[in-house]
Amino acid sequence: TVLAVTALANGINFSAPLLLMLVGIGLSFLPLIHVPELSSELVLIGFLPPLLYAAAIRTSVIDFRANRRSIAQLSVLLVLVTALGVGLITWLILPVSFPEALALGAVVAPPDAVAATSIARRVGLPRRLVTILEGESLVNDATAITLLRVAIAAMAGTITAAQASIGFLVAALGGAAVGVIVALIVVPIRRRITQPVFDTAISLLVPLAAYLPAEELNVGGFHGSGVISVVTAGLILGHKSPVIQSGQSRLSERVNWATIQFLLENTVFLLIGLQAKTIIEANSQSDLPAWQIAGFCAAVLAGVIIIR
């Protein structure tokens, strides 16, 4: 389905992610279609690490460093502001506590760069803007996931602003440290490998080797960020690739990861669309009236757009 819809989108000059979502929505209402459950483990372990790594190894460290201020403002500050703004909108409209409202804000705050950059390249946006969008997409998930954990902790009990700040520091510094360690382990190994297939196979292990230990890192009840760990390892290995890999190994790795990224990115959008029927059925059983749910969705969408 992903291959067919993507080919169609390219043929009619339409955004493939958007068309895949529309097709997924339509398929979700067909009685013979079994809709897979979109679990947190599937998304956070199955999709997120390889997608982040595939993007990180293609990202120029020089460009990333040159635009670090804009990337930091968008991926950290703006995500926090958007989450707080959406949280406030949710708290005012729905009968929920503010930590629950903030959790929703954290979920919708980080934008996905796939649809945006696919359109940006087609319309010819300046390279710097595309670089900033892609750089933001590497880091903003870390901010959102950490904020989501803070909101969940606040639901369970009390958490102070100081504790929340410590949580963000542990996530950032712990994740970066694990990513550097993984890269330092992988670099000397890859220097000694001459077989492209073996070298590519090692690269397939790196995302989970960086993500899982960072997530298991626990300092005072706060976890490191697997997202930052994967991005750090990917940036270092991508930057070092001309030195530690042969030309054939680099070509093999890039082609394989481009294929993986293409399939996973587009599958995510199809899976999101497939959740439509389940979401509508769940809302139909809610105690809230349909007009209030629809109005709330419109308010959140408007809030995200206006804040951004």
Distance CA 224, CA 172 (A): 7
Q: How far is CA 302 from CA 87, 89, 112, 262, 293, in A?
A: 13, 10, 17, 30, 14
At 22 the pLDDT is 95
Query: Please, which residues have CB within 8 angstroms of residue 271's CB and are 6 or more apart in sequence?
Result: 24, 36, 38
Closest CA to 234 of 101, 66, 60, 88: 60
Distance CA 127, CA 123 (A): 12
The three-state secondary structure class of 175 is helix
Residue-by-residue pLDDT tens, the chain, 308 positions: 999 999 999 899 888 889 999 999 999 999 888 887 888 888 889 998 999 999 899 888 888 888 889 999 999 999 999 999 999 999 999 888 999 999 999 999 988 766 666 666 667 778 888 888 888 888 888 889 888 888 888 888 777 778 888 888 888 899 999 999 999 999 999 998 888 999 999 999 999 999 999 999 888 778 889 999 999 999 999 999 988 888 898 999 999 999 999 999 899 999 999 999 988 888 888 888 888 889 999 999 999 999 98
At 60 the pLDDT is 86
At 229 the pLDDT is 94
Q: Using an 8 Å Cβ cutoff, are 257 and 54 in contact?
A: yes
The three-state secondary structure class of 222 is strand
**Interval 64-76: pLDDT, tens:** 888 889 999 999 9
At 113 the pLDDT is 66
Q: Using an 8 Å Cβ cutoff, are 121 and 56 in contact?
A: no
Q: How far is CA 4 from the centre of its chain?
A: 24
223 pairs with which residues across the strands?
Answer: 218
Closest CA to 36 of 44, 45, 27: 27
Q: Using an 8 Å Cβ cutoff, are 287 and 95 in contact?
A: no
Q: Using an 8 Å Cβ cutoff, are 100 and 155 in contact?
A: yes
User: How big, in percent rounded to 5, are the helix, strand and coil portions of the chain?
Assistant: 80, 0, 15
Distance CA 225, CA 110 (A): 15
Q: Using an 8 Å Cβ cutoff, are 269 and 51 in contact?
A: no
Q: What is the pTM of this model?
A: 0.88
Distance CA 199, CA 146 (A): 33
**Structure letter (DSSP) for residue 236:** H
The three-state secondary structure class of 223 is strand
Distance CA 271, CA 254 (A): 25
At 221 the pLDDT is 76
At 283 the pLDDT is 86
Maximum C-alpha span of the chain: 64
Q: Using an 8 Å Cβ cutoff, are 273 and 28 in contact?
A: yes
Query: Please, which residues have CB within 8 angstroms of residue 100's CB and are 6 or more apart in sequence?
Result: 90, 151, 155
Dihedral angle computed from the Cα positions of residues 17, 23, 24 and 30, in that order, rounded to the nearest 10 degrees: 180
